[in-house]
Structure 1
Amino acid sequence: MKLSIKYTENLERPWLLKRENGTYEQHAHFFTKKEAELCRHIIDIGKYPHCKKYKIAIQRLLTEEEFKQLKKKQRYFNSQKGVRKK
């Protein structure tokens, strides 16, 4: 799958991440080029995004079957944080 990053002026989110040979809906806008590159990197390594904005963008770029195949890893939460011992 080929993804391209383009800059379009006069938009609130000028950086566009677009799927080559995809439908019109398969694109996402970002504030910075770094955000667009990070989203493309997440797709390239096949990880499931935990950040809401990247999750929405990746859902738009991928098909439903491709999105379901992303590797999900359970997030680590420190269960001892804020617990006082008596």
Structure 2
Amino acid sequence: MTTFPGPRTGAPTAQGGTAPGGHLPPGTSLLAHAESLRTQADRLRAAVASLAWTGPDADALRARVTTLAARCDTAATALARGADRA
């Protein structure tokens, strides 16, 4: 059976430092995920804005992508709130 080594103690975890045990400080990864979701929401909105396709199917696609972008924003807000509490 193959064994895997555990995390290195004091390994760099973020720019400018380490956390005890080599882990990210509380909330840091949640904030990173929140930022990623906000970036994705912006990309989705930009894609919808640049869509040259017209017609009922295009309108339905725009509505679905806009809804998805809003869900990304909602999740990002919840993650950021969780990071503040961590």
- TM tier, smaller: under 0.3
Which protein is richer in strand relative to its size?
Answer: 1
TM-score by length of 2: 0.23
Of structures 1 and 2, the one with the larger relative CO (CA 8 A, separation 6+) is 2
Which protein is richer in helix relative to its size?
Answer: 2
TM-score by length of 1: 0.23
